[in-house]
Structure 1
């Protein structure tokens, strides 16, 4: 076991006045299974690039291991998979690779197929297997679940549980819980390390947030009470000072020395109260710095004039001579929140596109209600560019509501001035989701909407769908999200 030491790390992108990290120091053990979490745009990918030496920074990062990044960059995806493995690890031993393949339920024959012909899940497993058999390496695993179906996530999660020495960036709560033994979190004002999985970290965070909220309320009351006391004492001091020039009721002269002493004493008390008030204000300012904003979003969906929105009857979809799904039948009624589930390649995305009106070769009947308005969120974000204002105008949505939703999904106001093309993957997905929520639609159809979106925003979107209760058909491999949101599941 050795350590990775980060000391006084400071970094900002060229031309930016916003520091991503400022004088950050911490240590990691190289045998930890470390989960890496934080809001989109907080610097997770940036930190991985700093470890890899891709960016210039001030401070020091020292380690006795070499860092390897997943997914491995593959120049020629049409070459045989065995050649891809050789590129990753030229000196690999075949039986060691087969041992890893067995754990991941990958068959040996994939080595003799073009890498591009493998499913996204198979490609993920092959790269992980090849990278883990390399010695003295610390893996930086960046969101491996984005192309894994539910079964694939279970396999990879169990596989990672048997390994040591990696940082795992993932926004899937169940996946993190099963895979890691420590959490590295980028908070609003600091970086924090805790032993345990995501659920234990989140429980501790909620407990700390609740404590700070309670302390904040108590201090607010103390400050109000101290302010009133200071005003009263100051007023009394002034009155006593004025009385030095007055007389007693009996007509005799006042003892001005005594009165002056009394006024000074009361003024001293007033200053003491002011100091206590200032101390309380300083203590209050140290609270709530890492409280994550998760305001509830309040929206309403238009009511469709019929209970049934759409019905599929024995639908099969073909691509050439290949049938991707067969004899699919289901109905969507108002208020349904339906999860469409199945392995990669089972036709989930094709069904969603068919319902949205794309010309896809199929048999069977697709009965969609007349004048049914659908809002579709695709997996693809590559088309997003330009300003949020122009995007809202082009989509015909209310710009104020659109930006309000993004603010509540942790967009800083400075992001509103940037080109959408410069956003992180998670921020781009939030743009699509916010746009969809603004559209006047009877039915939401979302295809893997949570890819790249941070855990806290996932919980927030989850709460939104439970309170807003829209009619929605979605594909999502985040088990926790599906279990909480879906009223029914369609298995392909």
Structure 2
């Protein structure tokens, strides 16, 4: 066991006036299985890059271990997988590598295939196995779940649970709960580390947030009461002071010393109340700094004139001569939220593209309602570039509504001035989701919409779908999202 000590860490990107981190201090035990969470753009990947020494920063980071980052860059993807692994871990023993791959549900045969031929999920498993073979390393694992189906996520999560000494960035709640023992959250004002799973951290956060909201309301009421009382006391003091120059009703002279003493006493009381009010103001300033706003989202969906929107009966979809999927059959009824499930490579995206009207060869019976309008969110975000206003205009959506949704998904106003190509992966996904929510459609089709999207935004999107009950067909490997949202599951 050793400690990674971070002291007064301060960092901002060149040309930015807003620091990502400002004088934050904490320590990390190298035996921890540490989950890392935070809204998109808060600096999760940036923090990992700082640990790796990629940027100059203020403060100090001290550690007695070396760091390795996942995903590891593979220079020659044409090489056999075993050669790629030996390039990462030159002194690894073959039996140890086979053992690690077996734990991840992969056969030894995969080692003798070109790395390029492996699926994204297989690549994830191979690189994780290789990195955990290194000794005296603290691993920085950045969003490993984005290319994993449900079964693979469970295998990788169980694998990580058997290990220690890593930071894991993931937005999959069930995945985190299964394999971490500490949580680190990058908040609006600093970094917080707590023992436990994501669910433990989330319950603690909700309790802390509610305590601060209640305390803030109590202090505000006290401030108002003290302000009104101080004003009354001050007014009384001035009125009493005025009587020093008058006479009593009986005609006798007033006791100026007594009245002056009484006025001074009232004024002192007034000042005491003002000091207490200022103390309350100072206390409120310490609260609510890390309350995350998650305003309710809105969406548009047109009513369709028929109850059935889509029907597939023994449909096989082809790419070239090879079937992407075979004998698929299901229906989409109005108001259903249909989850299309199955392992990677089972043809889920192909079915979605067919329903969205792409020219894909198929056999079997495929019926889609006449004049059915579909809003599609693809997996790929690489095409996003240019200005958000131009993007809204190109899709014919209301720009103010579009940007309002992005604001609620934690976009700052400065993001609106940037080119979309500079957005993080999660921010690009939010652009696609916000556009879809603004489109006039009868059916929304979303293909892995939550890749890279932070957990709080996922929860907002869940609440939106539960509130509006749109007709939705989606592929999503976040098991918690599927459990809450799907009214029907179609397994390929």
Q: Which TM bucket (shorter chain)? A: over 0.9
What is the match of residue 286 of structure 1?
286
What is the match of residue 206 of structure 2?
206
What is the match of residue 54 of structure 2?
54
2: distance between equivalents of 1:387 and 1:219? 44
Deviation at 1:298, TM superposition (A): 3.2
2: distance between equivalents of 1:352 and 1:273? 66
What is the match of residue 7 of structure 1?
7
- How big is each residue's C-alpha offset from its partner over 1:77-109, in whole Å with a ceiling of 9 and x where there is no partner? 122111111121111110000110110111111
What is the match of residue 252 of structure 1?
252
Deviation at 1:145, TM superposition (A): 0.3
Deviation at 1:300, TM superposition (A): 4.2
- The 5 Å alignment of 1:181-330 reads 181-330=181-330
Deviation at 1:269, TM superposition (A): 0.9
1: distance between equivalents of 2:319 and 2:117? 16
What is the match of residue 166 of structure 1?
166
**Alignment partner of 1:452 is 2:452:** yes
SS at structure 2 position matched to 1:461: helix
- The 5 Å alignment of 1:66-465 reads 66-465=66-465
- How big is each residue's C-alpha offset from its partner over 1:426-477, in whole Å with a ceiling of 9 and x where there is no partner? 0110111011001111111000000000111111111111012111000000
| Conservation of the 8 A alpha-carbon contact between 1:32 and 1:181 | yes
2: distance between equivalents of 1:491 and 1:38? 32
Query: Which structure 2 residue ranges, 5 or more long, are not aligned?
Result: none
| Conservation of the 8 A alpha-carbon contact between 1:244 and 1:260 | yes
| Conservation of the 8 A alpha-carbon contact between 2:375 and 2:439 | yes
1: distance between equivalents of 2:30 and 2:379? 35
| Conservation of the 8 A alpha-carbon contact between 2:356 and 2:376 | yes
Normalising by the residue count of structure 2, what TM-score does the alignment of the two structures yield? 0.99
- How big is each residue's C-alpha offset from its partner over 1:26-58, in whole Å with a ceiling of 9 and x where there is no partner? 111111100001110000000000011111111
What is the match of residue 479 of structure 1?
479
CA RMSD, Structure 1 to Structure 2 (Å): 1.0
| Conservation of the 8 A alpha-carbon contact between 1:313 and 1:366 | yes
| Conservation of the 8 A alpha-carbon contact between 2:20 and 2:42 | yes
| Conservation of the 8 A alpha-carbon contact between 2:35 and 2:176 | yes
SS at structure 2 position matched to 1:140: strand
| Conservation of the 8 A alpha-carbon contact between 1:300 and 1:468 | no
Deviation at 1:320, TM superposition (A): 2.5
| Conservation of the 8 A alpha-carbon contact between 2:300 and 2:441 | no
Query: Which structure 1 residue ranges, 5 or more long, are not aligned?
Result: none
Normalising by the residue count of structure 1, what TM-score does the alignment of the two structures yield? 0.99
